[in-house]
Structures are given as structure tokens and as C-alpha cells.
Amino acid sequence: MTLHPVILCGGSGSRLWPLSREHYPKPLLPLTSGQSLLQETAGRLSGLPALGDAVYVCNEEHRFLLAEQVTRAGHTPANIILEPEGRNTAPALTLAALYLDTQDPDTLMLAMPADHVITDRANFLKAVIRGRKHAEAGDIVTFGVTPDAPETGYGYIQHGDALSDGHSYRVTNFVEKPDTETTEMYLASGEFDWNSGIFLVSAARWLEEIAIHQPAILEACEAAMQNGMQDSDFFRVEREAFLASPADSVDYAVMEHTRRAVVVPFSAGWSDVGAWSSLWQVCPRDAEGNVTRGDVIAEDTQNSLLLAQGRCLATVGVSDLVVVETADAVLVAHKDKAQDVRAIVDHLKASGRDEYKTHRCVYRPWGSYEGIDNGARFQVKRLSVKPGASLSLQMHHHRAEHWVVVKGTARVTCGEETFNLHENESTYIPIGETHRLENPGNIPLEVIEIQSGSYLGEDDIVRFEDVYDRIQAAS
């Protein structure tokens, strides 16, 4: 049986603000290495026998970022299923099962969240190999992390009867985030593992189980797939049908009810990196117990996480802090309060601010733009356009634009005229004029854009042509 990784890319990782944002969430961030968590997950199973292409389930908003990261990591960015809105892991896995079942009914799915860290890949692969034979026999395998502390932020799995392989158990019970006293008892008993949220099951078995325990999820997902459409490497499920699905996790929807649940314990340096304190625990630390990234000066500082993106970050005489600097926000928190960062995100949302949603640098399928300056009736941006890429043919009702090329060659459409601009050359786009910016060259195109007008919001865009199928979207 072919084993297909199913990489679940939902979730925003709000406890990792200000790095993780709604439009650039935790899975896309390089938190523990030069690769993003998504890229690490995509490569985690390389070398296993009978390994098929990965299937990705992600939010429509992140589709181009995901495809680009997968490509950069040397993997095929195909089989990307787009959710119009997250409905938790059970519907996501059901979409993947329906997608794969049409290709190979006997296929195995290894469902992995895209935002986990596993430092001991060899031990993880051993666990997958042990679980594979149970999945091939029709069981639903979950992987339990051998606990080394009474953590209250994780769910727990209780072992039942040992199976004949000596490495696996029937599942007796699932417990969601117990209190400290209970977790200490669990740890002492040796009967409980942390719930990793990783599952191995055949597509056919999953569809049978979801039909028994959550038929409404299956019905909604079947309709969403039947009425969906292939768009290049993406499969777009039908929006209204999918939103009719109940939102539920794999655990609640099936695992707590099925009689086919098997747990394979493993110890492989696993973490879901659910908060800044978790990142501090899994990263290498210096002699003072600090994790530092970027331009950091730490004097008389201990056991802290210090991340700088653009400016010099300096600390003196502090300990047990999280300090994260970005272009538009700085977080300072005690490590013991790292779980409460979500409250900051909630406050930003309630205040109508954008810092929870986007970074100053905003990524688009054609490249990116970054705000440099703004004031009454003007703003300045730096645009970076990838080789061969183009922005949509568009116009604005309320703003004019000046473009200055600082690197590369730009092909400009302005009204009925199309022409090239080279470094240190500029042009003017009047209000209401149809226009387009393209990069015909082999190096990134960098343009300074000066906008002026009565309204400068990103939703003042009327698109006429777009190679990325964004005619209906203001992004």
C-alpha cells in the first residue's frame, strides 16, 4: 500500500504573534532552522518505502505561499486542497481521503500538522514503520509522545492492552488537557502519552469510520468535492457545501468513538510549538540559557528568548523573558505568560488594527510589497516582483501612483501604451487609468511606489485580467 503524507496546514498560531500572523501563519515560519515548519514536515518522511506524493490541505488565502515554499524545498507542489474556511482536522482529513480514494482505494494517509517540530527524525520514522502494519490491517493509528513532564497544555492518550508487536497498544481513553495534579498522576503511572495529533489510516477505513460517527461531515465533504474544481495545482472545494460541515477534530469526531484505535508511543523530540516558551525549550541555548536570533546583545540576561528581525535588540539584567522584534510590533512577555499572547491578538482584532493580520511586508503570488512611509493622502511602498511575474491589469478609483525602478527592468502598461522602464527611470499612473506592472527579466524587479489620493486602501482595486485568478478578490 502506498503511503501518502497528508499535511494539514490550518491554524494561525496566534500565541506566536508578532511573527505568526493571520496571512502568514506559524507553518510558514522558519522557527527552528533555515526551513519553515511546513518545509520540515514535507521532508520528514523521505526515504520511506512505497511513499507517494504529499497531499496538502490549506486555507485558500495561503495557497501561493504554500506552493512556493514546497517548491523551494524540492517537493512537488501538487495535490493542494483549498479550504474556503477552516473547519478543524476531521473535515480536512475527510477531504484528503475522498481525494486519494478516487486514485487508490488502498492508499494509506499519514496525517501530520504542518506546524510541529520533530528533532529525532530517525525515531519518528521507526514509529511510522511500526504503525504502518496496523493501518494496513484496518486500524486507525495515533502516535503518542512519551511524556517527560506533567504538561497541562497537551491532550493525553491512555494505553490499553498491549499488542503482539510489543510496541503498540489499544487505546483506552483520550483526555483533553488535564490539570497539574492529574498529569503528575498520569506521568507516574506510565500508562499515558501526549497526544501528538498525528494519525495513520487508510483512506477507505477513514471514510467508513467518519460515515459511522460523523455522517454530516462526510456528507458535506462529499458535496464539496463533487462540486469542486481543479485549478492548476490546486483543488478548490465548493464553498457553501463545505461550510455546512460541522467543525470537529479527528479525536472528537472519530478517535474517541472507534474500536479500531491503536497508539504507537515514540520519543523523538516532538513539540507542537504552541507558544514562545515551547520554542525556547526545543531550540539550542547558549551558556546563559538564552535563545537568540538576529542582531541581539544580551548582557546579564538568562533563560530568555530574544528574536530580532530588523533592529538591534538589547537586554540588560533580565531573565525568563520573551522579546520578539518585528518591523511593526515588539512583544515583551514573561516566559510563564507565553500562553496569554493570544489575548494581545484578540485586543488587536477588537481594536480594528491590522497587526494581527499582516506584517509590514505582505506576500503576494507575484512577489511582495512593504510599507516604507505614510501620511495624510500618501504612502510609499517597496515592491519586489519575481522574474517572469506580473501584477494584475487593474485600476484605482481614488489614488494615483508614481513608480521608480531601483533594480531590474519593468514592463509597464498604462492605458493603451506598453513600454519598458530601467533602473533610475520612473513613470506616472493617473487616477482611473488601467495599468499593469511586469518583470520580463531574470532578476527580481524592485520598484518604489508612491501612492497619493483621497483613499489608499488595498480594496481600491478593480481587476480586469489576472494570471492568479484573483478577479473577485482584493488582494
- pLDDT tens column, 35-81: 999 999 999 999 899 999 999 999 998 999 999 999 989 888 889 99
One domain, residues 244 and 219:
yes
Q: What is the pLDDT of residue 475?
A: 43
One domain, residues 218 and 160:
yes
Give the sheet arrangement for strand 410-414, strand by strand. Answer: 417-421, 410-414, 435-438, 393-395, 462-465
pLDDT above 90 (res 443): yes
Of residues 151 and 6, the one with the higher pLDDT is 6
**348-369 average pLDDT score:** 93
Q: How confident is the model at residue 94 (pLDDT cuts 50, 70, 90)?
A: very high
- pLDDT tens column, 292-344: 999 999 999 999 999 999 999 999 999 999 999 999 999 999 999 999 999 99
Q: What is the pLDDT of residue 76?
A: 81
Give, in order, the Cα–Cα distances in Å from 65 to each of 28, 77, 124, 265, 357. 8, 11, 27, 33, 15
One domain, residues 191 and 306:
no
- pLDDT tens column, 189-224: 999 999 999 999 999 999 999 999 999 999 999 999
Q: Is residue 356 part of a domain?
A: no
Q: Looking at the 3D structure of the chain, how many domains does it have?
A: 3
Contact 295, 313 (CB under 8 A): yes
List the CATH number of the domain containing 414: 2.60.120.10
Q: What is the pLDDT of residue 474?
A: 43
Q: Is residue 288 part of a domain?
A: yes
pLDDT above 60 (res 158): yes
One domain, residues 181 and 103:
yes
Q: What is the pLDDT of residue 152?
A: 86
pLDDT above 90 (res 153): no
One domain, residues 336 and 444:
no
One domain, residues 265 and 321:
no
Residues near 459 by beta carbon (within 8 Å), at least 6 away in sequence: 474
**β-strand pairing of 169-175 with 261-266:** antiparallel
Task: Characterise 467 by phi-psi region: left (phi > 0), alpha (psi -120 to 50), beta (else).
Answer: alpha
One domain, residues 52 and 128:
yes
Range of the domain at 307: 276-349
Q: Is residue 267 part of a domain?
A: yes
Domain boundary among 317, 349, 381: 349
What is the spatial distance between Cα 182 and Cα 200, in angstroms, rounded to a whole number? 28
List the CATH number of the domain containing 48: 3.90.550.10
- pLDDT tens column, 224-252: 999 999 987 899 999 999 999 999 999 99
What is the spatial distance between Cα 110 and Cα 123, in angstroms, rounded to a whole number? 16
pLDDT above 70 (res 472): no
Q: What is the pLDDT of residue 115?
A: 94
One domain, residues 412 and 453:
yes
Q: Is residue 189 part of a domain?
A: yes
One domain, residues 457 and 365:
yes
Q: Is residue 472 part of a domain?
A: no
| Averaged pLDDT of the chain | 94
Tell whether omega for the bond before 18 is within 30 degrees of 0, i.e. cis: yes
What is the spatial distance between Cα 167 and Cα 391, in angstroms, rounded to a whole number? 54
Q: How confident is the model at residue 106 (pLDDT cuts 50, 70, 90)?
A: confident
One domain, residues 418 and 298:
no
Q: Is residue 470 part of a domain?
A: no
